[in-house]
Amino acid sequence: MTPSDPRPRVLVAGGGVAALEVVLALHERTAGTLRTTLLSSADRFRHRPISSYAGLAGDDGRTVDLARFVAEQGAGLVCDRLTAVDAAESAVLTEHGGRIPYDALVLATGASPREGLPGAITLGAPHDEAALAALTARVRAGTVGRLAVVVPAGVAWSLPAYELALLMRHAAPAGATAVEVVTAEVRPMAVAGDEFSDAVSALLARRGVRVTTSTWPDAVDEGRLWLPLQGAVEVDAVVALARSVGPSLPGLPCDAHGFVLVDARGLVRGERRVWAAGDVASHVVKQGGFAVQQADAVAEDVARHLGLEHLSAVAPHPPVLRAALLDGEDTLYLRAEHVDGTIRTAVSGTPLWWPPTKIAGGRLSAWLAAFQARDGGAAAGSELLGAGGA
């Protein structure tokens, strides 16, 4: 705080879904009582929940000018990259030599994709987008006989692998392409519970997608997928999910993969003024719907610690898992939450939340819809997923 402006300084680092959710949640909870600044390496935000599928599913790739976004929230914008945190002095260091002080810091810088399997196309990696687009064109032309989609060991949120397999199967001419998912999981989507897994497995079976579990290939080489027990399996193409790594930020406690260690409320371990939300935090599941819930919990905790909401021992809100699985024909909606020590799951072909966006919950989806409506965009609401929405 400064004598000229006594409002607490909140710095939100990041330019993705979690960062924007934090800014929106802070504004809603404490409008006018904070000096919020967004620190982002980019000056624009591209909302792209399904654009990594190379045109297999509709995606308008809507883009938002961050200066306009923060202005509407009464916040400021600094375009630079965070490189280190000096928690003892309550300041961050940036790539261009800046030093920004804070009274509260929220890290929402995300994770970086790394190669999931040597020799495979990596889903979600920018450098492999052209290769995935070329593969999609070959699948549609019927020239790919066998396609494998791989979930490497250590990847907890595997839904994109099953979604890609279903979309590729739908895109291929009838009988042209055999699609198989090879996963290190004991069963598809095991992290979400048995009922969730059963629903995904049943859909895969109906669409003719084969699944091999408890297997993690070694590499792809010259049209062969090398499996530890089966040996070489002939394939025409292989796509693997990326392995996520964190930024290993100097000055903060991080796990072996570079993710910032946090408690259930998102407060960084051993710190009193630093929080983390989204993929940068050491949560096992990296998923957009979880990220927006984490952002809201962090904003609530920041407000309490700054004395703007009642500071009490409020129990963390149990996360609710919401996932929309596209298969090229329809959308399968799945919802799972812990209730009385068990996982309660709902599965439906009709929306289980509203609006039925790919990244469910939070404030950003509503803000984006209003943003496009104000701009007269014909694509307003085009992220909504309904029957045949893929």
pLDDT tens digits, residue range 267-305? Answer: 999 999 999 999 999 999 999 999 999 999 999 999 999
Amino acid 382: pLDDT: 46
Q: Per-residue pLDDT for 314 more than 80? A: no
Amino acid 128: pLDDT: 94
Q: Give the pLDDT band (50/70/90) at residue 366.
A: confident
Q: Give the pLDDT band (50/70/90) at residue 3.
A: low
Q: Which two tokens stand for residue 247?
A: 């930024």
What number of helices (H) and strands (E) belong to the chain? Answer: 7, 23
Amino acid 380: pLDDT: 39
Q: In this structure, are residues 337 and 353 in contact, taking their beta carbons and an 8 Å threshold? A: no
Burial (CB count <10 Å: 0-12, 13-18, 19+), residue 320: middle
Residue 207 or residue 339, greater confidence = 207
Task: Determine the residue type at 158.
Answer: S
Q: Per-residue pLDDT for 97 more than 80? A: yes
Amino acid 60: pLDDT: 55
Percent of the chain predicted with pLDDT > 90: 75
Amino acid 341: pLDDT: 79
Return mean pLDDT, the chain: 90
Average pLDDT estimate for 65-75: 96
Amino acid 389: pLDDT: 34
Cα(171)–Cα(13) distance, rounded to whole angstroms? Answer: 39
Residue 388 or residue 148, greater confidence = 148
Q: Give the pLDDT band (50/70/90) at residue 357.
A: confident
Amino acid 370: pLDDT: 85
Amino acid 226: pLDDT: 94
Amino acid 318: pLDDT: 79
Cα(249)–Cα(176) distance, rounded to whole angstroms? Answer: 47
Amino acid 211: pLDDT: 97
Amino acid 59: pLDDT: 61
Q: Give the pLDDT band (50/70/90) at residue 340.
A: confident
Amino acid 56: pLDDT: 87
pTM, rounded to two decimals: 0.91
The CA distances from residue 325 to 166, 196, 216, 294, 333, in Å, are 9, 11, 23, 22, 6
Q: Give the pLDDT band (50/70/90) at residue 385.
A: low
Cα(5)–Cα(321) distance, rounded to whole angstroms? Answer: 40
The 8 Å CB, 24+ separation contacts for 366-375 are 367/24, 368/47, 368/62, 368/64, 371/64, 372/62
Cα(81)–Cα(171) distance, rounded to whole angstroms? Answer: 39
Amino acid 183: pLDDT: 97
Amino acid 379: pLDDT: 42
Q: Which two tokens stand for residue 147?
A: 């396609």
Residues 6+ apart with CB under 8 A from 303: 26, 29, 30, 309
Amino acid 6: pLDDT: 85
How many Å is the maximal CA-CA distance in the chain? Answer: 72
- Give the chain's radius of gyration (CA, Å): 22
Q: Give the pLDDT band (50/70/90) at residue 362.
A: confident
Cα(349)–Cα(386) distance, rounded to whole angstroms? Answer: 9
Q: What is the DSSP letter of 8?
A: P
Among the listed residues 370, 389, 117, 75, the one whose alpha carbon sits nearest the alpha carbon of residue 241: 117
Amino acid 372: pLDDT: 77
Amino acid 48: pLDDT: 72
Q: Which two tokens stand for residue 117?
A: 């399997």
Q: Per-residue pLDDT for 243 more than 90? A: yes
Write down the residue that tokens 């570079």 correspond to. Answer: 258
Which SS3 state, helix, strand or coil, does residue 252 take? Answer: coil
Domains located in the chain, CATH noted: 9-111+246-305 (3.50.50.60), 115-242 (3.50.50.60)
Amino acid 378: pLDDT: 42
Amino acid 49: pLDDT: 73
Q: Per-residue pLDDT for 388 more than 50? A: no
Amino acid 377: pLDDT: 53
